[in-house]
Structure 1
Amino acid sequence: MLRNKIFYGWIIVLAGHLLITLDGMVLYSFGIFLPYLNEAFGLSNTAGSSFFSLRCVCMAFSFVFAGRLIDTHDARALTFFGGLIAAFGFLLSAYAETTWELYLTYSVMVGIGDGFLYILPVTIISRWFVKKRALAIGIATAGVPVSGLVVNPLTTWLIESFGYERALVYLSVIFTAILCAAFLVKSHPEDMNLKAYGENSEDAKKQKGASDWSPKEAFSHSSFWLMYAAFFFGFNTFLIIVVNLFNFSVGAGISPLVAAGAPAFIGVGSIIGRIFFSGVVTNFLSDVRILFVCYFFQATSIIIILSVAEVWSLYLFGFLFGLFYSGWVPMFPTILGKFYGLKSLGSIFGIFGTGFSLAAISGPLVSGLLFDMTQSYQNSLIVAMAASFITAFLVLLIRTPVKKINKTAT
């Protein structure tokens, strides 16, 4: 009875949410592990940040590979075995004795596995929803901020209680347990003799067929690259904040456990923001307008932390930054599906997702270099704010693409 009442797509959303929390675990825990890894291996802040950057290079290749596979292969197996690579990467990192071993396990293995944990759930959810697609993706991708809310204090407690090596082991066990949610995933509604949510709506009829673009066609359109640039600059801002906020807080004289609350407040704001923007604001603002509002006020929130570095201002900044950051993240896969259709969305989003990986190279490395040069995080925060302001106005140039039809003479 219950199964008949609940559309299975929402089970997919729940599974996707759990799987994407693992992506958040990888993302948020790095900022906590970084000072301990630097101390253990005798690394500068710039060199330590390179672990994260290499991980994201590997994740970029994984994005592309996973995106192509998901268009033609079973989602459950791809997600589970991809995630298992990341889990083993965490586990083996605990036993790394040299820098190159840590690069292999913490960067390469975790990076390859992590690429499967974000792109696959988002792509699958897009197939299951026509109506409320933005809300469904928003709920699923809220796994990242939920993870941030839990992972930072949990990782800090594990490290302070057992050391960073044992903390990596425990996180790998937690990671594997949550990964089992992959077995709830179904690639297509048709696999269960169902139709996508809202399949028979007027909007669905308007979009169906005519909006299916090949990857090559999508990549030839300027709007794709404008969105790609916005995605890149937006994540530069986000990653500079995530990687440096904990250390900034500790440097301001705040204890590690209390400082871990600032990134956790990003998680609180993000949870609220993803539901609010994707479930409410989409009813009266266009997708592009939502992007502008989120990027502009994300940048504005950084002024708080630049002006006052106290506990209350850190927490307020974290909440507001998370609120507006969370609004633009689920909009991009939603817009890609509207612009280019679902037939090749995995391949298209796989290439699109590399914008995050490129940002992960530039953001942490630039901020690490600035810190090594100035011994201050202020310049990094200014760069993050500038990137977000630029992006706010860049997104206003995005236009709905019109597919060219080849006309043959008759």
Structure 2
Amino acid sequence: MITDPPKTRLFYGWFVVAAAFVVTFIGFGSAYTFSSFVDSLQRDFGASRGSVSLVFSFAGFLYFGLGMISGPLADRWGARNLGALGMVLVGLGLGLASQAQTIVQVYAAYSIGIGAGVGCAYVPTLGAVQRFFVKRRGFASGLAVSGIGVGTLVMPPLATWLIATLGWRDAYLVLGIGAAAIGVGSSLLIADDPRRFGTGPDGDPLDARAAAPTRQGVSIREAVRTARFAGLYAACLISAFGVFVPFVHLVPYAVDHQVTPGVAVLLLGMIGIGSTAGRFFLGGIADRVGRDTFLVAMYIGMAVSLAIWAGAGGFRSLAVFALLFGLFYGGWVAILPAVVTDHFGGRNVGGIIGILYTSVAIGTLLGPSAAGFAFDISHSYFIPVAISAAANAVAALIAAATMRSRSPVVSLALNDL
């Protein structure tokens, strides 16, 4: 049985943020190692590159879509238990991939293990962070999810080195053992309520006012029936169709424009750098300018950067796109959980975020594939990239319109007066 984390003089919310950073680092970093294994898998199993995008899409659909299940379970059983289970599944998926005898078995182990593992851990861990912060919620969320960007930068090169040193099978095994050990160990630091440690959110003294926001909030059923949730869902859904297109098609686009493959791959790293910067630094700005306004700005920023991509023709312009897009994408990912908690409260935040992220799951599954089919028909990426930019512009308009509706938590507080 897992025991409670020890009490400490330092506000415990920062330990939860650190744990969330490691969990997202391990989970998403493991997901992005797949590209490092492609050459080895092609050589041993005769796999086609065309199947790789489907593996990513399926894994992405699982880890965003399963938040609908893991979020409510975490609200009931605790985020720590779901986080630890997810890290075990990530490690198990990588370990099983090392024993695969066919490429289908590798794909199944990777897609299901990584997808289900991250799906179990991601939303519950983010939900736990939200309950420990109010005034600095955007900053804390940004730090927590910056593990995704850092994992994207660190884990693929590590996997490449392990493959060169040990071979792809032992590389998968080492990564699996490390993911399970480090991920589960970090998950044990996660907690759900600052009152367990003698404080309210943000480390404020524990009193009625400080403790109230921690578990105040509407039910999941009440939340999904509001205009505020409908607007957030629609904006995320429309945006997500374009947001994940660069992760699959930016490198082929660059190669089509006479950028060498080795240099083109660096563009994904630039998205990771921009994304890490956005998650680290923009969350604090959101706390000052207003998190709703900041969310609209992130959609506008992604729309503008995607428009730059539509007209880009060389490495320099593509690098500008990659850095800008990563910055705004990172800010979007960082602020969404905080916005949800602001408007629906912390009582059922895991379940509400999980349902909201089904919109992102649909976009992850369909957007990159639709862009590929559009390219097959037109032999150009202009149309799918332009549509991606327009989709984010529409998402910004929807998010701005949604700001005009009353927050359900505000309505709940007024009813309690």
- Secondary structure (helix, strand or coil) at the match of 2:134 reads coil
Once the two structures are overlaid, the 10-residue window that deviates more, 271-280 or 133-142, is 271-280
Deviation at 1:173, TM superposition (A): 3.8
Q: Distance in 2 between matches of 1:206 and 1:195?
A: 5
Q: Indicate yes or no: 2:232 matched with 1:248.
A: no
Other structure's SS at 2:346 match: coil
Deviation of 1:44 after TM superposition, in Å, equals 6.1
Gaps of 5+ in 2: 1-6, 413-417
Mapped partners of 1:83, 1:206: distance in 2: 30
Q: Is the 8 A contact 2:223 2:408 kept in 1?
A: no
Which range is displaced more, 26-35 or 378-387? 26-35
> Does structure 1 conserve the Cα–Cα contact (< 8 Å) formed by 2:85 and 2:121?
no
One-letter code of the match for 1:121?
A: T
**What's the counterpart of residue 369 of structure 1?**
373
User: Is 1:220 matched up with 2:225?
Assistant: yes
**Distance change in 2, residues 1:206/1:106 (3 Å):** closer
Residue 103 of structure 1: CA displacement?
4.2
Report the equivalent of 1:408: none
Deviation at 1:340, TM superposition (A): 1.1
- Structure 1 residues 197 and 288 mapped into 2: Cα distance closer, same or farther (>3 Å)? closer
Please give the residue correspondences for 1:11-410 in structure 2 after superposition, counting only pairs within 5 Å. Answer: 11-30=15-34, 40-43=45-48, 45=50, 47-60=51-64, 62-156=66-160, 165=169, 167-179=171-183, 180-197=185-202, 199=204, 208=213, 212-283=217-288, 285-374=289-378, 376-398=380-402, 399-402=405-408
Change (3 A) 1:201 1:298: farther
Does structure 2 conserve the Cα–Cα contact (< 8 Å) formed by 1:148 and 1:266?
no
Match of 2:3 in 1: none
Structure 1 gap ranges (5+)? 406-410
Tell me the C-alpha RMSD between the 2 structures: 3.1
CA contact under 8 A between 2:89 and 2:117: conserved in structure 1?
Answer: yes
**Cα-to-partner distance string for 1:323-375 (whole Å, 9 max, x where unaligned):** 11122222221121111111111111121122221111112221333344455
**What SS does the corresponding residue of 1:142 show, helix, strand or coil?**
helix
Contact 2:138-2:291 at 8 Å conserved across structures: no
Deviation, 1:204, is: 5.7
CA gap 1:295/1:161 in 2 versus in 1, 3 angstroms? farther
CA spacing shift, 1:97–1:169, aligned 2, 3 Å: same
Letter in 2 for 1:275: F
Change (3 A) 1:151 1:237: farther
CA contact (8 A) 2:200 2:211 kept: no
The Cα shift of 1:89 comes to 1.0
Distance 1:174 1:313, change over 3 A: farther
Q: Structure 1: which amino acid aligns with 2:218?
A: W
TM-score calculated relative to the size of structure 2 = 0.84
Seen in structure 2, the aligned counterparts of structure 1 residues 370 and 97 have a Cα distance that, compared at 3 Å, is farther
In structure 2, C-alpha distance between the alignment counterparts of 1:338 and 1:244, rounded to whole Å: 35
Deviation at 1:393, TM superposition (A): 1.5
SS in 2 for 1:329: helix
Matched residues in 2 for 1:174 and 1:378: separation? 42
How much does 1:124 deviate?
A: 0.7
* Number of residue equivalences: 401
Q: TM-score, normalised by structure 1?
A: 0.86
**Structure 1: how far apart are the matches of 2:308 and 2:206?**
44
Q: Specify the code of the residue in structure 2 equivalent to 1:127.
A: R
Comparing 109-118 with 97-106, greater Cα deviation is found at: 97-106
Q: 1:10 aligns with which of 5, 14, 19?
A: 14
Q: Check whether the contact 1:76–1:185 (CA below 8 A) recurs between aligned residues.
A: yes
Q: CA deviation at 1:242?
A: 1.3
Distance 1:252 1:172, change over 3 A: farther
> Within 2, Cα distance between the matches of 1:380 and 1:156?
31
- When structure 1 is superposed on structure 2, of 137-146 and 374-383 the one drifting more is 374-383
Q: How many angstroms does 1:57 deviate by?
A: 3.8
Alpha-carbon distance, 1:396 to partner: 1.0
Residues 288-320 of structure 1: CA distance to partner in whole angstroms, max 9, x if unpaired?
Answer: 221222111212112333333433223222211
User: Matched residues in 2 for 1:205 and 1:191: separation?
Assistant: 13
Percent of aligned pairs with the same residue?
Answer: 28
